[in-house]
Structure 1
Amino acid sequence: MAKHPITGDQPMQVKESAHGKATAELIFTGGQVHTVNATNDIVQAVAIGAGRILAIGSTKEIRALAGPGTREVALRGRSLLPGFIDAHCHLTGLGMATVSIDCKAPGMQSIEALLKAVYERAATQPPGTWIRGRGYDQTRLRERRHPTRNDWDTVAPDHPVIFTRTCGHIASVNSRALAVAGITDQTPDPTGGRYDREGSRNLGVAYETAQTPLQMAALPTVDEFSAALLRASEAYLAAGCTSVHDAGGLVGAAFGPCQDLVEDGRLKLRIYAFATVNSLQHRVMGVLGAGMRSGFGDERLQLGAFKVMTDGSSSGPTAATREPYACDRADSGILYWSQEDLDGLLGTAHRRGFQCT
């Protein structure tokens, strides 16, 4: 019996035609096919059928597997690699970022430039609609500080504004956004988060779990989620990435639109979606009582690990540290959980069949 060309030790499984001859739906020939097998073999051609690699070998050998309906792609010496897998991404965040104000673009390294962009965006959107920005870094802004509600209010008083720092762990918003989220100057800092304040006034800079009510208020619509997922999928496929592990943002309000796109055959990526929480009050906590576990779904869309956010980011800096930060001796970051609560939550998730991370 023939050995499997990739593993070298398993029988090769191929699709058989009515005449007993192995046939392929698609073949790539005349190239440099990187198998990434145990010996990193590079061959001329590969045959594919029913979503699986059937065989690898010379162009002549692979053409022997072709039938009347087989499509041949002539590589003409070009390289062919297996699809890449991104083991940590945020699909909806990527898709929404493409239509948000890009804080990393040339010329955007000042609060003044960010305000100008918001002012111009406000002129094109109906009052009350969200203006979003992504990727600012206060350490690289000319002013060397976070933008605050005082800044945003001067250019967009009638639009809720939310800008997310490059790390994703800090958000800066205006007064309208705070009001929509139900946050006032009297709102206390939540466990695992805080707001910047000037005296008793909330400045609209939210760290870690303090972002959550703002993120919930700013959730995209179903149509916005769908469009964002398609944009993200197209970007990944264009880069040769065919599978992703979504590490947060998909399980929740975006999961329904994602499932619709997968069922319609419009979303081509394979997705392993984490259920991510940052507190016992997080809405995704409900997945633990839903009777599902890691692996639910199919090869196109599958429920993945139960992910628990435990602290902040190193660049914020908000990551919890044993010693204070050199840049601020009064700051040791933000820790979300007590050890007892964290142990209890992970134990529950594990017992209910979840991979945990």
Structure 2
Amino acid sequence: MTIHLMAGVRGVEADLALIGGKIVTMDGGESIAEAVTVKYGRIIRVGSTSEVEPLIGGGTAVIDLRGRTVVPGFIDSHGHILRTGADRMLNVDLSQEAGVRSIADIVERLRERADETPAGGWVVGYQEDDSKLQEKRHPTRWDLDEASTEHPIIISTVGGHFYVANSLAFENAGVSKDTPDPVGGRFDRDPETGEPTGGFHEKAFGVIKPDGPEEPTREQSYEGAKQILGECAAAGITCIYDSGGRSSFRAALDLKNRGELPVRVRLDAVIGLFPDLNRLGIYRGMGDDWVRLCGLKFFFDGAISA
């Protein structure tokens, strides 16, 4: 089978040809082709190696796949990828991929950051995952106290809806056993004493850290996005659907304007941006094939992880 995706390919010389492989076409017949040719970033023919040979010229880069499989690019339909890139620039990575295996590892990493942070300054960790820890539980506020009692500490989990803070963070926020849970949020408590144990959910974040997450600088947003989107491209992800605030939009546009955007970006604006977008006349669907605004993100309820 041959698929022509560019009219009048006669006399056209492909920029790239992949031959001798298994090309997963994703057509209705679930057919597998042997070769594919590309011009100006667009597929112009799919078929057997002999069928694409007329489009191969002196300027064509030819890759012999030697039987390997080629699939269409993956689309990540729900990620917080751009913000995670910024977090890398700002905060402490507590993921398994960063080598964290236990609560002791978490404490050590947070202590290292506290040692280089002025007393009273926030120490923030992200991507903690209790299911990957030896203890199979989240740390408590007393665990985090071992990292520092001179810095308020807060960590977020992989789900993004549950957090843990140390005793100083609770003290600074004025939260005790007598503090009621906020609307839309909850503090984990000792069932016998009612004392907060360190964990809290959803909108309780705004009680512990009223100023919200630290905003990255423009350069931090750019560098973080460049790094993490490069990793996406290397893993075969060619488009992401993300939600974000000003820094995420700015990072995507900075990369696009510098010609450094390796994947396509579709964005939902967090609802807090709506007044600004409305005032500026920015509407859903605005953008191009590389960066496009697709909608608004609302928060109506909690999440399973919370």
> TM-score scaled by structure 1?
0.70
Residue 299 of structure 1: CA displacement? 1.1
The structure with the greater share of residues assigned to helix is 2
Match of 2:293 among 277, 297, 303: 303
Residue 160 of structure 1: CA displacement? 4.3
Q: Residue 101 of structure 2 aligns to which amino acid in structure 1?
A: M
In structure 2, list runs of 5 or more residues that go unmatched: none
- What CA deviation, in whole Å up to 9, does each residue of 1:136-176 have, x standing for no partner? 3389673856522x543442344443211232101223466
CA RMSD for the aligned pairs? Answer: 3.4
Match of 1:21 among 11, 21, 29: 11
In structure 1, list runs of 5 or more residues that go unmatched: 6-10, 278-282, 317-357
Alignment of 1:100-115 (within 5 A): 100-104=92-96, 108-110=101-103, 112-115=104-107
Match of 1:286 among 275, 281, 287: 275
C-alpha contact 1:34 1:43 (8 A) present in aligned 2: yes
Residue 302 of structure 1: CA displacement? 0.8
Residue 189 of structure 1: CA displacement? 4.8
C-alpha contact 1:184 1:202 (8 A) present in aligned 2: no
What secondary structure sits across from 1:23 in the alignment? Answer: coil
Residue correspondences, number: 295
How many Å separate the matches in 2 of 1:4 and 1:284? 47
Match of 1:156 among 131, 145, 148: 148
- Mark the CA change 1:107 to 1:255 in structure 2 (over 3 Å): closer, same or farther: closer
Residue 36 of structure 1: CA displacement? 1.0
1:134 and 2:127 are equivalent in the alignment: yes
C-alpha contact 1:131 1:159 (8 A) present in aligned 2: no
Match of 2:184 among 174, 182, 192: 192
How many Å separate the matches in 2 of 1:63 and 1:251? 48
Alignment of 1:161-240 (within 5 A): 161-174=153-166, 183-185=173-175, 189-196=181-188, 205-212=199-206, 214=209, 216-240=212-236
Match of 2:264 among 254, 270, 275: 270
- What CA deviation, in whole Å up to 9, does each residue of 1:327-352 have, x standing for no partner? xxxxxxxxxxxxxxxxxxxxxxxxxx
What secondary structure sits across from 2:175 in the alignment? Answer: coil
How many Å separate the matches in 2 of 1:34 and 1:292? 38
What secondary structure sits across from 2:164 in the alignment? Answer: strand
1:118 and 2:114 are equivalent in the alignment: no
Runs of 4+ in 1 over 6 A off after TM superposition: 138-141, 197-203
> TM-score scaled by structure 2?
0.80
Q: Residue 168 of structure 1 aligns to which amino acid in structure 2?
A: G
C-alpha contact 1:86 1:245 (8 A) present in aligned 2: yes
How many Å separate the matches in 2 of 1:287 and 1:245? 21
C-alpha contact 2:161 2:305 (8 A) present in aligned 1: no
- Mark the CA change 1:155 to 1:107 in structure 2 (over 3 Å): closer, same or farther: closer
- Mark the CA change 1:93 to 1:256 in structure 2 (over 3 Å): closer, same or farther: closer
- What CA deviation, in whole Å up to 9, does each residue of 1:267-325 have, x standing for no partner? 21111111234xxxxx3343562433321111111112322222222233xxxxxxxxx
- Mark the CA change 1:93 to 1:261 in structure 2 (over 3 Å): closer, same or farther: same
Match of 1:42 among 13, 32, 51: 32
Residue 261 of structure 1: CA displacement? 1.1
